[in-house]
Chain A
Amino acid sequence: MTGDILGIVVLVCLAYLLLTTFVYVALVVVGAIESTVRRQESRSEDYATLASSRFTIPVSVIAAAYDEEPVIVSTVETLLAFDYPEHEVIVVNDGSSDGTLERLREVYELEPYEVFVRRVFESADVRAIYRSAIHPNLIVVDKANGGKADAWNAGLNVARYRYVCGVDADTLFDPKALLKGMRLVVQDPGRVIGVTSHLNTAREPERAIAAPPGRRPIDFKPLIAFQHLDFVRAFFNNRIAWSRLRFMLCSPGAFQIWRRDVLEEVGGYSRSFTCEDIEVTFRIHERFLREGRDYEILCLTDNVATTEGPDTIRKLVSQRERWQRVINETVWHYRRMWFNPRYKAVGMLGAPFYLITEVLAPVFELFAIAALGLSLALGLFDPLTFAVMLVAIAFTNAALTASAVLFDDLQSRTYRKRDLARLLLLAPLDLVLYRPIIFWARVKGSWRFLCGDKAWHKFERNTREAPV
């Protein structure tokens, strides 16, 4: 009897595994087509004209900063250095408890000014608005703590331009990031309402971004290298494919361009979710599809930024459990879209994809581990079969990872050859060294979601060896 039940559980879990693998392989194929097209498109793009033309649409860049004292100046420097005809940088200090504001005040010679802004988006009390005496396009908004969504809403109220680019204050950007992000918007601003692009992760982004293209080092501290692979896979195997299939459901907070009037229409970023980026993307899709409007939200292949990845297991679990929680919150909140043909690809593919591969994954993984463990202990499952299965899964994952690395390198040609080789060799180990951590974070996140926890646990900054 126990054996039968365990057998059924193992079979169901295997069926789930086969289904998700099939879906991921299909997405890799779609992603490969999209990457190729976008790469060609990007190569034939006239960036020089775009960078100097007055017809390039101006953008307000909004960075929400909470306790970012060690990195804030590096981030603002990269934002001010954008190669773009007209942009303003709005840094929102979200009631930091450290010296973020003082650091900005000191470096950029901030002076308080009263600015009468549109109060279209709800946000916590704004204490003061500062302008820089040395950078006329830098504005700093100091406000009471209210979370990232609240900070972005405050920044949106101050934003002058028709397009806004929300960024994280712990992320460093490529000088051409905005230009690369806006190139398709400029062609069709009526339809392209949102854009995001490929991001990388590093232990110390300032070190990674300081290296010249083609020689950028990859941090081979195992946790960071596996996160690097995770990001590459997430973008090149998933998001790029979603973009082609028209269900780009997550514009990450580290770099997201939106048409301001669209955010205004949907009421800005929501403060009632643990995290705001994925929710706002779902909300915009829901609104536009419900109203039958023609639009596009795109994910591009250009590497635009490097964000800080946690360098300890504790910090990584804290970050990923939050991601899992927000995915669960959002997918559950928009459950009316699941398998609903009214929402086209988003309803029939995107939302179910999230449900099956993200929300339900920890449940299946938990059952699979328990059932396999018990089956092995009770002698119902042959250890050799188990071992071969494990190796097969590891190499299937590794093949998917290698495909993502291939398209990343074809696009960017950023990394050294030897680093690429090392990344590819690490790929089969992902299943045994990295996935268990992510599995634990997902279980924890799902549990906290069920408990109704909406706390935002910011991970501590990585300690720096020496300034760059």
Chain B
Amino acid sequence: MLRVAIFVLALALPAWIGLSLLVVLGRARYDRGQEVRVGDLRSHEAARLIQRGRGRPRTDWGRWRRVAALARLARAHHPAASQLLHPALADPDPRIASAAIRSLGDLGDGWAIDILISALRDGSAPRSRIAAQLERLAPVPGPRFVPLLRHPHPAVRFWAATLLGPYPELGRESLIALTWDSDPNVRAAAVETLGSRSGNAVGAATLARLDDPAWFVRVHAARAAGHVVGAEAAPSITPLLADRQWWVRTAAKDALRGMGSDAVPALLAVLGHPDAFARNGAAEVLQDVGFVDTLAFEQPSSPLLERIYEAGGERLREAAQSRAARHASRRTERAA
């Protein structure tokens, strides 16, 4: 037993010493490295990085060395970067593809945008990652998204519609047409993007999708109609307070809340709705836009306020009365 113990100790002690030295010396080296400024790529270093960037490593470690090499070449704007990054986008390892996407985004040149858009079209790399980089490069790539709205693949139409969000002047007619697309994801994206636009045709398109069979299209339609049409859309949005999907009801509340006091007439009409969700939702929005507080402070015994309390329940009443009391005490303090 003593021999076993000595054998274990003979392994463990050097291991502890070795690892401890590695920690302390490694850290010291890192701290020194931080102080040295990284200069331009020297030719022999570039050659080594190009070789690594071209490789097809099998181990995880090798793959990350390749990622690091690609990123370093791209940061240095080395001419070989474009040749290496394009094929890397189609690499079966998603980590290599993601690193290539990021490097292209960092470069942001015209050719980098072309490569990213072509990858978005082909689906050779994760589209959400490409989209994040393309959005970062706004406004340059904007006009190149418009032709993609007519692409046969729904995922491409979806991303094109989504990416056009920050470009209010582009693709309006095509986006309106896409609100009738056969793919619900594309309809949702088109409606969401139209939410940041204006005009009668846009408003009509968003209102038309309030009764879409796909619930997530209704979610975006409610929000978009609230933005584009404003308070005039309130009577069309209030029926969504009784929607069977919680997300749609929430979106409807958000849209109505965003209209402020202009939504009040439409909300008051919902207080007698047979659906409890709709009544609760209307009372909640009336509270959030400040209507309940105004009534509770100025006309606490108003029959209308009582109707809202009936629709919203006891807790709505308690919360409103507590706020009104605080408001009154603050006003008294200020007056004093």
* B is a partner of A: yes
Which A residues contact B (CB, under 8 angstroms)? Answer: 14, 33, 36-37, 40-41, 43-46, 49-50, 52-56, 111-116, 118, 128, 160, 186-187, 214, 382, 384-385, 388-389, 391-393, 395-396, 398-399, 402-403, 405-406, 409-410, 413, 417, 420-421, 424-425, 427-428
A135 to B105, CA, bound (A): 33
Contacts known (A112-B318, A389-B5, A395-B13); A40 close to B68, Cβ less than 8 A: yes
Knowing that A40-B67, A49-B102, A49-B105 touch, tell me 14 more A-B residue pairs with CB under 8 angstroms. Answer: A37-B61, A54-B135, A113-B319, A116-B280, A128-B319, A187-B98, A187-B128, A385-B1, A392-B5, A395-B12, A395-B13, A395-B15, A396-B11, A399-B12
Give the segment of B22-30, B111-119, B219-227 that binds chain A.
Answer: B22-30
Inside 8 A of B318's CB, which chain A residues have their CB?
112, 128
CB–CB A44/B67 < 8 A: yes
Q: Tell me if B316 counts as interface (CB < 8 A to partner A).
A: yes
CB–CB A40/B64 < 8 A: yes
Main secondary structure of the interface of A (DSSP, over half): helix
Partner among B16, B95, B132, B288 whose Cβ is within 8 Å of the Cβ of A55: B132
CB–CB A409/B60 < 8 A: no
Partner among A54, A113, A389, A396 whose Cβ is within 8 Å of the Cβ of B1: A389
Chain B residue, CB-CB nearest to A427: B16
Closest chain-B Cβ to A216's Cβ sits at a distance in Å of: 13
Most buried by A among B128, B281, B312: B128
Partner among A118, A399, A417, A428 whose Cβ is within 8 Å of the Cβ of B19: A399
How many chain B residues touch A (CB < 8 A): the figure is 60
CB–CB B6/A421 < 8 A: no
Inside 8 A of A391's CB, which chain B residues have their CB?
9
A402 to B51, CA, bound (A): 35
Closest chain-A Cβ to B65's Cβ sits at a distance in Å of: 8
Inside 8 A of A406's CB, which chain B residues have their CB?
19, 22-23, 26
Residues 96-117 of chain B, each 1 if its beta carbon lies under 8 Å from chain A, else 0: 0011001001000000000000
Contacts known (A46-B105, A52-B136, A417-B27); A395 close to B64, Cβ less than 8 A: no
Inside 8 A of B60's CB, which chain A residues have their CB?
33, 36-37
Q: Tell me if B20 counts as interface (CB < 8 A to partner A).
A: yes
Inside 8 A of A388's CB, which chain B residues have their CB?
2, 5-6, 9
Give residues of chain B (55-71) contacting chain A, Cβ–Cβ below 8 Å.
Answer: 60-61, 64, 67-68, 71
A46 to B326, CA, bound (A): 47
Closest chain-B Cβ to A456's Cβ sits at a distance in Å of: 29
CB–CB A50/B132 < 8 A: yes
CB–CB B322/A112 < 8 A: yes
A421 to B8, CA, bound (A): 24
Partner among A44, A45, A114, A424 whose Cβ is within 8 Å of the Cβ of B287: A114
Chain A residue, CB-CB nearest to B71: A44
Inside 8 A of B188's CB, which chain A residues have their CB?
none
CB–CB A114/B12 < 8 A: no
Residues 311-336 of chain B, each 1 if its beta carbon lies under 8 Å from chain A, else 0: 01101101100110010000000000
Inside 8 A of B11's CB, which chain A residues have their CB?
396
Chain B residue, CB-CB nearest to A43: B68
Closest chain-A Cβ to B215's Cβ sits at a distance in Å of: 14
A160 to B219, CA, bound (A): 13
CB–CB B319/A424 < 8 A: no
Contacts known (A392-B9, A420-B23); A385 close to B287, Cβ less than 8 A: no
Inside 8 A of B16's CB, which chain A residues have their CB?
395, 398-399, 402, 424, 427-428
CB–CB B284/A417 < 8 A: no
Inside 8 A of A393's CB, which chain B residues have their CB?
8
A402 to B19, CA, bound (A): 6
Partner among B15, B27, B312 whose Cβ is within 8 Å of the Cβ of A399: B15
Inside 8 A of A111's CB, which chain B residues have their CB?
322-323, 326
CB–CB A395/B20 < 8 A: no
Closest chain-B Cβ to A214's Cβ sits at a distance in Å of: 8
A421 to B64, CA, bound (A): 29
Chain B residue, CB-CB nearest to A413: B30
CB–CB A114/B313 < 8 A: yes
Closest chain-A Cβ to B204's Cβ sits at a distance in Å of: 26
Inside 8 A of A113's CB, which chain B residues have their CB?
287-288, 319
CB–CB A53/B135 < 8 A: yes
Residues 158-202 of chain B, each 1 if its beta carbon lies under 8 Å from chain A, else 0: 000000010000000000000000000000000000000000000
- 15 pairs of residues in contact across A and B, judged by CB atoms under 8 Å: A37-B60, A44-B68, A46-B132, A53-B135, A114-B284, A128-B319, A187-B94, A382-B2, A391-B9, A395-B15, A398-B12, A399-B15, A399-B16, A406-B23, A413-B27
Chain B residue, CB-CB nearest to A407: B23
Inside 8 A of B312's CB, which chain A residues have their CB?
114
Closest chain-B Cβ to A53's Cβ sits at a distance in Å of: 4
Closest chain-B Cβ to A145's Cβ sits at a distance in Å of: 19
Chain B residue, CB-CB nearest to A385: B2
CB–CB B128/A186 < 8 A: yes
CB–CB B19/A384 < 8 A: no
Residues 255-282 of chain B, each 1 if its beta carbon lies under 8 Å from chain A, else 0: 0000000000000000000000100110
Inside 8 A of A14's CB, which chain B residues have their CB?
1
CB–CB B323/A114 < 8 A: no
Partner among B2, B23, B246, B281 whose Cβ is within 8 Å of the Cβ of A409: B23
CB–CB A55/B135 < 8 A: yes
CB–CB A53/B26 < 8 A: no
Q: Tell me if B298 counts as interface (CB < 8 A to partner A).
A: no
A114 to B253, CA, bound (A): 13
Most buried by B among A14, A395, A409: A395
